[in-house]
Amino acid sequence: MGTREGPFFAKYVRVLREGIAAHLRLPHRFVCLSDIAVPCEHLPLHWLWPGAWAKLELFRHGLFDGPVLYLDLDTVVLGELDELARVALDGEFTAGTHRSGGLDAAVMAWRVDCSFLYRRYAWMPEYWNHRHREAGHRGYIETGLRRAGIGWRAFEETLPGSLLDYADLGAGATVPSSARLCVFHGRPRPHELEVEQFAHWDRGRAN
């Protein structure tokens, strides 16, 4: 999902869509939540919530009619996703673990109704922005799940090595063969990389 965030936005949508199509054989529907036109099926955002807080629109009641596997647009697909999707959606809510601890909302999967997360935030967004000013939207999601009695599982526990944070690679490191997805937080972005394992990200093609 995303809003108007620079000249690479449309390319990120296309590259992620193609990566999913190539590596997820399970029947699925690729949808982007966006306030601008994108090269795929998309659903409009209803609010102009700041930054990553816009992710809470993912939980609008009735938005999707089945289990959801969510990926940030700058997530790089590195390998086959069928096993990861099956394992993730076997639980109520699965997410990555942030490098500072707690839930990381860059990759999430759920099969239960989490619309309470959307409703509560829409009622008073400024309050929740202030209350979770340290961990932001990911802290809000984790706290909300706990209050609702929904225990989230970590990808790292259900399928070790499947989810990689680029920041953990370090200089000169290689991508482990177990990695299926790589997430990014800030710079560099995938299109800025010279790492061999990310060459397929398609930096050279036009939007």
CATH number for the domain harbouring residue 175: 3.90.550.10
203 has pLDDT over 60: no
How do residues 33-85 score in pLDDT, each as one tens digit? 988 888 899 899 999 899 999 999 999 999 998 999 999 999 999 999 999 99
The residues, any chain, with a CB within 8 Å of residue 63's CB and separated by 6 or more, are: 43, 57
Which comes out higher in pLDDT, residue 174 or 90?
90
- Domain for residue 146, yes or no? yes
Geometric angle at alpha carbon 183, from 166 and 121, rounded to 5°:
135
How do residues 151-178 score in pLDDT, each as one tens digit? 999 998 889 999 999 988 876 678 888 9
- Domain for residue 87, yes or no? yes
**What's the mean pLDDT in 94-120?**
95
Tokens in use for 18?
Answer: 């193609």
* C-alpha closest to that of 98 among 52, 148, 49, 30: 52
How do residues 180-201 score in pLDDT, each as one tens digit? 999 998 888 888 876 665 655 6
* Rounded alpha-carbon distances, angstroms, from residue 117 to 32, 137, 183, 187: 19, 10, 23, 29
- Domain for residue 3, yes or no? no
- Domain for residue 182, yes or no? yes
- Domain for residue 206, yes or no? no
150 has pLDDT over 90: yes
Domain total for the chain? 1
- Domain for residue 15, yes or no? yes
How many Cβ atoms sit within 10 Å of the Cβ of residue 20?
Answer: 18
**What's the mean pLDDT in 85-102?**
92
- Domain for residue 33, yes or no? yes
- pLDDT classification of 206: cutoffs 50, 70, 90: very low
- Domain for residue 1, yes or no? no
Domain that holds residue 149: 9-201
